[in-house]
Amino acid sequence: MILDIDNASSVQSFVNKITADWFDIDSMYHTLKSNSHTNRSDFWKITDYMMDVISNSLDCSPRDFLKIWEQKCLKHDAMLMGYHCTRHSNESIFTNKGILPLSEKTIEISSVQKNIAAKETWEYRSTSGVGPYFFLSYKAAKNPDNHFYLSGPEILLAVDGHQPTNNPPESIPLIIHCAIPFSIIPNKKFCTFCIVKAHLIFLDPDPEDDSENLFEGSSIDLNGCALDPQHIVKIEKI
């Protein structure tokens, strides 16, 4: 079962399977709305409020709610579409090796570079997470201002002489479409929030949160784990 968070039918089918024989999420939403819970801005933002309210409605703790949700995702072999954006001259590197996090080789290269600005970029990026990262929304991945298209993997900006843009004719922007197993996603709580939010937004023709791009910048971080090439659906050249 694969979820495309930009597609209403995909989201609703996914959520209905997860909540079947558990609770009626549509009915719950209308009850929460009539009680003004959904009028609070915190309900739609990345906070614990939505999960707390839903869990409370089910007479369970948020931790237990997430545990049950995860179990049901595993039962249905749930996967989320994620979009890895980069620049590269050889797309077969991904189909052969998958999508890798920051590597020891990159660290080794960076340790000998001398550019001060690059050093600052490196120090920030290498401590903020090794990735790999995947946009949750294809709409966000397709944004032509996406800096991954312009500069390649941002970690390489800190490595003198190794930026993909040094050879633009051979380095082209790519969107790598991936079906990421829910089981390997470290931050399952955030992904669950995004899935539930998408379902409720698609359910209500006039939701309180009327953002055109609900998940702009939202991403899946595999936190140091490589994504096996078997999970690559296609590689799109931009």
54-97 residue pLDDT tens = 999 999 999 999 999 999 999 999 999 999 988 777 788 889 88
Check pLDDT > 80 for residue 205.
no
Q: What local confidence, expressed as pLDDT, does residue 132 receive?
A: 87
Pairing mode of beta strands 79-88, 2-3 = parallel
pLDDT greater than 60 at residue 163: no
Q: Which pLDDT does position 140 carry in this prediction?
A: 86
**Nearby residues of 170 by Cβ (< 8 Å), 6 or more positions away:** 89
Q: Which of 139, 216, 202, 214 minimizes the C-alpha distance to 9?
A: 202
Residue of 102, 153, 97, 103 whose CA lies nearest to 131: 102
pLDDT tens, 97-123?
898 886 666 556 555 555 555 566 556
Percent above pLDDT 70 for the chain: 73
Domain boundaries, the chain: 2-77+187-215, 81-178+223-237
What are the C-alpha distances in Å from 126 to residues 110, 149, 150? 10, 20, 20
The model's pTM is 0.83
Residue 24 is predicted with a pLDDT of: 96
With cut-offs at 50, 70 and 90, classify the pLDDT of residue 150: low
Q: What are the tokens at 110? A: 């960076």
Q: What is the pLDDT of residue 90?
A: 78
Residue range 23-52: mean pLDDT, rounded: 89
Q: Of 3, 43, 1, which is closest to residue 138 (Cα–Cα)?
A: 3
Rounded to whole angstroms, how far apart are CA atoms 125 and 119? 10
pLDDT of residue 176: 92
What pLDDT sits at residue 160? 47
Q: Is the pLDDT of residue 154 over 70?
A: no
When pLDDT is averaged across residues 171-177 and rounded to a whole number, the result is 84
Specify the higher pLDDT residue, 221 or 121: 221
Query: DSSP letter at 99?
Result: B
- Name which residue leads in pLDDT, 207 or 70: 70
Q: Are 52 and 221 a contacting pair, CB within 8 Å?
A: no
Residue 124 reports pLDDT greater than 70: no
The tokens describing 8, both together, are: 């209403």
Per-residue pLDDT, 104: 60
Q: Is the pLDDT of residue 153 over 50?
A: yes
Q: Is the pLDDT of residue 157 over 50?
A: no
Most trustworthy range by pLDDT among 37-46, 200-209, 228-237 = 228-237
Q: What is the pLDDT of residue 210?
A: 47
Query: Vertex 186, ends 104 and 129: CA angle to 5°?
Result: 35
- pLDDT tens per residue across span 8-17: 999 999 999 9
